[in-house]
């Protein structure tokens, strides 16, 4: 049964652009910088790579996937510490002639990695919700600013604010 549900989700994800109209992009991919603070894991804010992928079902609704990879510095006991996260959810857009305002949320998984030890944690349940703005500067490009709350369940809940920014590539507009 799980195989059938996964196959159905995969088909829906790749068929979503076929339902889109011509007045907005069918797929939006943003690549850029992320900055996450999880004080319970490591103090301070830590930077990394962030990417958003959105498959627009209509001008207002989209399916969104978020992937973040953050370096959390060096721990004296474990060496390098890295956090990897992947969340899948929905995005609601408010499209105007200029900037696109949006709210998004999703659930997924998060992992702690210790590359110096060659090990990582088991996956942890992750929740992400927030919003942002895409500011267009070309027909097929925009600048994204996203602020979201991310929560990880590593031996209890660890939450923090994630700020990400980057360039959005609009496909099939």
Of 17 and 162, which is predicted with more confidence?
162
pTM across the whole model: 0.80
Instruction: State percent of the chain over pLDDT 70.
Output: 86
What pLDDT is recorded for position 158?
86
Give me the number of domains the chain comprises.
1
- Range(s) of the domain holding residue 36: 2-171
Which domain CATH number covers 59?
2.40.160.20
pLDDT at position 7: 54
The CA distance from 79 to 87, in Å, is 26
């Amino acid at each position: 049964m799980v195989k059938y549900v996964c196959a159905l989700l995969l088909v829906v994800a790749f068929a979503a652009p076929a339902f889109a109209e011509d007045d907005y992009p069918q797929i939006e991919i943003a690549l850029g910088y992320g900055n996450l603070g999880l004080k319970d894991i490591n103090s301070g804010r830590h930077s990394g790579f962030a990417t958003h992928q959105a498959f627009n079902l209509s001008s207002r609704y989209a399916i969104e996937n978020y992937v973040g990879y953050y370096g959390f510095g060096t721990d004296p006991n474990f060496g390098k510490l890295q956090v990897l996260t992947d969340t899948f959810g929905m995005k609601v857009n408010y499209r105007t002639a200029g900037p696109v305002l949006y709210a998004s949320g999703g659930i997924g998984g998060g992992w702690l990695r210790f590359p110096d030890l060659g090990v990582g944690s088991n996956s942890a349940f992750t929740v992400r919700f927030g919003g942002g703005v895409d500011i267009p500067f070309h027909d097929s490009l925009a600048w994204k600013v996203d602020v979201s709350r991310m929560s990880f369940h590593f031996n209890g809940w660890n939450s923090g604010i994630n700020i990400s920014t980057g360039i959005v590539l609009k496909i099939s507009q």
